[in-house]
Amino acid sequence: MKRTPLSNKHEALGAKMAEFAGYYMPISYTNIKEEHLAVRNGVGVFDVSHMGEFIIRGKEAIDLVQQVTSNDASKLAIGDAQYSCLPNHDGGIVDDLLVYRLDEDQCAEGEQAFMLVVNASNIQKDWDWISQHNNFEARMINISDQTGLLAVQGPKALDALQTLTDVDLKALKYYTFTKGTFAGVENVVISATGYTGSGGLELYVAQEHTVQLWDAVFEAGKDFGIQPAGLGARDTLRLEMGYCLYGNDIDDHTSPIEAGLGWITKTKKEAFNSIDIFRKQRAEGVSRKLVAFTVDDRRVPRHGYPIEDANGEEIGVVTSGTSSPSLGIPIGMGYVPKTFAAPETSFNVVAGKKRLAAKVVKAPFYKPA
């Protein structure tokens, strides 16, 4: 089991640790609800150094990125980031990821550079997949083990961090990034993407400086009530926003069109993996859709629970579920036939011998002020 540069910090803070994607990670420090609300109302810090980072560089780097991703990376200017996915050849998803268009200071003339940020559980899988398609003049560099990553999230995050850098953090637009000195550490990638819906930043740093950055962030955030947050709160926060989690809501057998990710599936660009399948799904429609729903019960819908119609016929399955700390009600997502996908549509979630009355709602569940 791999450790991040911050594993000792988590242990010293009394975190509940567990294996996640092959890494020794903090699930919670106090409790999930407290950490969740700290991010929603103040500022919380996640160690996400387990994520994978690949550099794609070369004269045909853009061609490789375009071939393997569903979104249109040609639209990215230097300093832009983009949410995308890696389609397989059968209309499913190898992984979802972020694509960063890097500056070209270290590139030869005519070259471009990108950073792909992938899920920890899929690092080797994604590397192998992209490598199989690298028939271009493009060099791939896996910097995952050399990179630390902090996600500092919440409405007070920018104010808490501003004293640590000369970069104007509030001028950083959503899904853009810059590189600068942060807490005395040079060449930190400062990114505004987020996975919580409450604003904030991600800080990519050379692994050997991760602890220095962590300490500086917490010192700067003292007056803002800064708290560490574990993967448990990260999951409840993303689910309140209706964001997909790979392995739960999307996988090798789910289409991005089915999953509501048509907006990152640019079927008008030049050929990429599964483009013909996605064009057909766009033209003819899909038979099932991923929906958000609330439950009229105290019990929580869990991953894998069956979904039934009023006649007791199984029509789908729950992919994610939790008790929403912000809303105080059970929420979930799952795949159902498109005839059951409209808001206000009712169905039942089967929890053992009990059937929980559920209703389709429009995501996100939580709408920030």
Average pLDDT score, the chain:
97
Q: What is the pLDDT of residues 269-296, one digit of tens each?
A: 989 999 999 999 999 999 999 999 999 9
Residue 12 has pLDDT above 80, yes or no: yes
The C-alpha atoms of residue 84 and residue 52 are separated, in whole angstroms, by 15
- Is residue 105 predicted with pLDDT exceeding 80? no
Instruction: Please state whether the peptide bond connecting residue 5 to the residue before it is cis, i.e. omega within 30 degrees of 0.
Output: no
In the chain, the percentage of residues whose pLDDT exceeds 70 is 100
pLDDT at position 104 over 90:
no
Q: What is the band of 241 on the pLDDT scale with cuts at 50, 70, 90? A: very high
Write the CB contacts of 253 (distance below 8 Å, at least 6 apart in sequence): 92
Q: Check pLDDT > 90 for residue 106.
A: no
> Quick one: tokens of 53?
């980072």
Q: Is the pLDDT of residue 107 over 90?
A: no
Which tens digits make up the pLDDT trace of 331-359?
Answer: 999 999 999 999 999 999 999 999 999 99
**What is the pLDDT confidence band of residue 109, given thresholds at 50, 70 and 90?**
confident
- Average of per-residue pLDDT across 307-331: 97
Sorting pLDDT into bands at 50, 70 and 90, what band is 259? Answer: very high
Query: pTM for this one?
Result: 0.96
Has residue 70 got a pLDDT over 90? yes
Domains of the chain (ranges, CATH numbers):
2-50+146-240 (3.30.1360.120), 52-142 (3.30.70.1400), 287-361 (2.40.30.110)
pLDDT digits (tens, 9 = 90+) for 174-230: 999 999 999 999 999 999 999 999 999 999 999 999 999 999 999 999 999 999 999
Q: Are 258 and 265 in contact (CB under 8 A)?
A: no
pLDDT of residue 26: 98
